Amino acid sequence: MTSAGPGRPRKQQPVRPGATARDEILDAAAELFTGQGFANTSTRAIADAVGMRQSSLYHHFGTKDDILGELLKGTVAGGLDFARAVFSASRPDRAVTAAAALHAVALYDGSLLCRARWNLGVLYHLPEARAERFETFMADRRELRQLYRNLGQRVEELLPPAGGPGSAPLGELAFRLVESLINLRADGLVDDHSASQTADAAVVLAGLPAELAEVRSLSRSLISGHGGELSGPDVVR
């Protein structure tokens, strides 16, 4: 919870990126939560990292859980908004076009996870993140996962029936591949190409490796057309 009013003054000038003190608190908390753990981080430590009194921090966030909730929400919001926009666009009539939609969502979402200032995806694994108070975040994450599955289903419906034993749905595989970037980043194994390679992998799993170049081109157009602003060798600004 936040309260009205200017709050108490800082002990020093701003030392972190962010347009507001609230942004700086979130940045400091993100660094501490991902670096030393949520349970081991106190609100006093967060306040000290920002350069403000602990009482001033409580002007912006009532509890440490409120800070965590805001950070969790931010990890999903961008990818979810983009996935909604892509899915609600006209339904594709070719497998390549449908694959491009899934590729674009995986690329956009994966790039956000890889390029965020802090690897906030590791917070998904916190037992605290499963608490009822974070149900809004969990609901958003479930919706994003379902959108992956729906986009994957569109691809599968436009491909010849696959023979042999059943496998995991394409969209589910794409979602899990993208979330694997969180652990790869934690291990220092993510680079500027990781998100695009992950999105490409979903296309290969769909059985469309020969169409990969066309899928990539259509995917970049989707990202650009929906206002994507990611930078990198495989993403249109």
- Give domain limits for the chain: 21-62, 66-225
Start-to-end CA span in the chain (Å) = 36
* Matching CATH number, 21-62, of 3.30.450.20, 1.10.10.60, 1.20.1530.20, 1.10.238.10: 1.10.10.60
How far is residue 115's CA from residue 64's CA, in Å, rounded to a whole number? 25
Question: Which pLDDT tens digit goes with each residue over 125-171?
Answer: 888 888 999 999 999 999 999 999 999 999 999 998 765 555 789 99
Query: In sequence order, which residues have a C-beta less than 8 Å from that of residue 38 and are 6 or more positions away?
Result: 64, 68, 123, 126, 128
Residue 237: the pLDDT is 29
Residue identified by tokens 């965590």 is: 68
pLDDT band at 114 (very low <50, low <70, confident <90, very high): very high
How far is residue 189's CA from residue 122's CA, in Å, rounded to a whole number? 15
Query: In sequence order, which residues have a C-beta less than 8 Å from that of residue 183 and are 6 or more positions away?
Result: none
Residue 5: the pLDDT is 44
Residue 95 in 3-state DSSP?
Answer: helix
Higher per-residue confidence, 165 vs 108:
108
pLDDT, mean of residues 94-120: 96
What percentage of the chain has pLDDT greater than the value 90?
A: 78
Residue 121 predicted with pLDDT over 90: yes
Question: 34-55 burial by CB neighbour count: b if 16+ within 10 A, else e?
Answer: beeebeebebeebbbbbbbbee
| 56 touches 7 (CB < 8 A) | yes
